[in-house]
Amino acid sequence: MLLPLAWKNIWRNKLRSAVIITAIALGLMCGLTAAAIYINIGTQMVSSTITTGISHLQISNPKFLIDREVNNFVPNAEVIAKRIDSLPQVAAAAPRMLVNGMASSPQTALGVQITGIIAEREKNLTSIASSLLEGNYFEEPWVNQVVIGQELARHLDLDLGSRIVFTFVDVNGELTGSAFRICGIFRTASTQFDRSTVYVKARELGQLLETGMRFQQVAVLFTTLRAADTSLNQIQKIVPEMELQTWRQLAPQLDFMSSSMSLIMYIFLGVILLTLSFGIINTMLMVVLERKREFGMLMAVGMGHKLLFFLVTLETVILSISGAAIGMFLAFILISTLNVTGINLAALSSGLREFGIAEVLYPSLPLTMYPAVGGMVFITAVLSAIYPALRALRLRPAEALRNI
């Protein structure tokens, strides 16, 4: 009978209960939706950083990491890339030539990283080919093709088919360079990447560097993040002399974001629940003060302290869980809808892309978070009930019945 009694008691003051239930529902709905957006931002940042540039793993000559001289090669990079590519947990592996240089147009110049690639291999490794706004991915008949970012094209005031001159230091330490023609312009989630990275064919870059088909890096993309974390030893055995750098080492801020995302979300939701708990405590205190006489009567006729405490706690829990259930349901509907429609933040596009965040967000929340949040609400409700319930227990029946 206590459960129905608690339920009926909650609806004695419909407006007050509706207000607190609505507050909890809205608080949780907003909190969960914000969490879903944050998680999507984090996931997008990690994903775009990995797929546009750094990959999951980079294999380099240790000397190259200290001194970026072009003669610090990965020996047999093409063979190693093919061998790694054949592993089941690897999605793609490709060798890269890396050299820093100056990109010049008739108007201005800018420092860039020139990446020499084998296009058909690199295509599987990065999302650049699918991020092209104009042109194509090294499909033109002419020599010295280059794919550059939209930001660099804008900065140098260049269009598709324009010529761009790269100057850099070759393997002999001599300044060299050549003119390339833009065959494709890409745009990723990061303006910084789009401004500073260009792709050319490895064979053409190797000729200019006088290194031939020798590479400074092998980049590896795994099928999953988990596979990336667990395959290091296996890869290291293939290249014992080389240095392995995981995406977590290459982008520690993203690693922190990825690993702490759930914790931060739970703290965020915990703060929301802490705020809501004051509302719950206030509501239940009003309930106890209003029903002073009734609680006095209940104790007079023989309701024990434990049962009275349980009744107040039960009312608090039902009130809170009702709000939470509605809030989580609304959040689920909202997040599911936004996951399909997306949230278009085009107005904030330039600012977001500086941080590697895409214009359109697709919020999503792991389903495991819902029961976890339900548990947090339950704990919050029980803790919030303690003070009002203790106030009820402090009543002395004779006084409660006499004073009103």
Partner 1 sequence: MAVIQALNLTKVYNESEVPVRALHNINFEVTDGEFTAIVGPSGSGKSTLLHILGGLDRPSEGKVTVGGVNLNLLSSTKLIEFRLFNIGFVFQAFNLIPVLTARENVEFIMLLQKRSAQERIKRGQELLDAVGLSNRADHRPVQLSGGEQQRVAVARALASRPKFVLADEPTANLDSKAAGNLLSIMSDLNKKLGTVFLFSTHDERVIHRARRVITLRDGEIESDKNNSR
Candidates 175, 271, 300, 348; binder of partner 1 (CB under 8 A) is: 300
Contact pick of 3, 366, 375, 402 for partner 1 (by CB under 8 A): 402
397 touches partner 1 (CB under 8 A): yes
Q: Give the binding-site size for partner 1 (rule: CB under 8 A).
A: 23
For residues 75 and 304, which CB has a smaller minimum distance to partner 1 in the complex?
Answer: 304
- Between 238 and 398, whose beta carbon lies closer to partner 1? 398
Q: How far is the CB of 12 from partner 1 (least distance, A)?
A: 6
Q: CA 206 → CA 34, 116, 151, 211, distances in Å? A: 48, 8, 26, 5
Nearest to 334 by CA among 24, 38, 30: 30
What sign for the dihedral angle of Cα 191, 192, 197, 198? positive
Q: How far is 297 from 269, CA to CA, in rounded Å?
A: 39
Plot region of 165 (φ>0 → left; ψ -120 to 50 → alpha; else → beta): beta
Regarding 301 and contact with partner 1 (CB under 8 A), the answer is yes
Cβ neighbours of residue 210 under 8 Å, at least 6 residues apart?
170, 171, 172
Taking the complex as a whole, how short is the minimal distance between the CB of residue 363 and partner 1, in angstroms?
41
**Least distance between partner 1 and beta carbon 4 (Å):** 9
Half-sphere exposure of residue 118, counting CA atoms within 13 Å on the CB side? 17
Least spacing, CB of residue 300 vs partner 1, in Å: 6
Site for partner 1 contains 307 (CB under 8 A)? yes
Q: What is the DSSP letter of 93?
A: E
> CA angle, corner 187, sides to 183 and 190, nearest 5?
140
Comparing CB distances to partner 1, the nearer of 301 and 340 is: 301
Question: Quick check: 293 binds partner 1 (CB under 8 A)?
Answer: yes
Specify the 3-state DSSP secondary structure of 242. coil
12 versus 63: smaller Cβ distance to partner 1: 12
Q: DSSP readout, 323-349? A: HHHHHHHHHHHHHHHHHHH-EE-GGGH
**What is the bridge-based pairing of β-strands 343-344 and 360-361?**
antiparallel
Binding of partner 1 at residue 5 (CB under 8 A)?
Answer: yes
How far, CA to CA in Å, does 287 sit from each of 203, 400, 401?
79, 14, 16
Q: Which is nearer to partner 1, 16 or 203 (CB)?
A: 16
Please tell me whether residue 299 binds partner 1 under the rule CB under 8 A.
yes
Q: Is 391 in the site for partner 1 (CB under 8 A)?
A: no
Minimum CB separation from partner 1 for residue 390, in Å? 14
For residue 36 the two structure tokens come to 């879903």
Site track 171-210 with partner 1 (rule: CB under 8 A), x = hit? ----------------------------------------
Instruction: Establish how many alpha carbons lie within 13 A of residue 285's alpha carbon, considering only the half-sphere containing its beta carbon.
Output: 8
Residue 278 burial (C-beta neighbours within 10 Å; 0-12, 13-18, 19+): exposed
Least separation in angstroms between CB 14 and partner 1: 12
- 340 near partner 1, rule: CB under 8 A: no
Minimal distance, residue 302 CB to partner 1, in Å: 3
- Is 396 near partner 1 (CB under 8 A)? yes
286 touching partner 1, by CB under 8 A: no
Do residues 65 and 98 make contact, with C-beta atoms less than 8 angstroms apart? no
Give the chain's radius of gyration (CA, Å): 31
The whole-angstrom separation of Cα 187 and Cα 193 is 9
Phi-psi map region of 138: left, alpha, beta (phi>0 left; psi -120 to 50 alpha): left
Residue 3 found at the interface with partner 1 (CB under 8 A):
no
Minimum distance, C-beta of residue 48 to partner 1, in the bound complex (Å): 57
Q: Is 305 in the site for partner 1 (CB under 8 A)?
A: yes
Residue 1 sits in the site that holds partner 1 (CB under 8 A):
yes
Which of residues 79 and 307 has its CB atom nearest to partner 1 in the complex? Answer: 307
Which parts of this chain interact with partner 1 (CB under 8 A)? 1, 5, 8-9, 11-12, 293-294, 297-305, 307, 396-398, 401-402
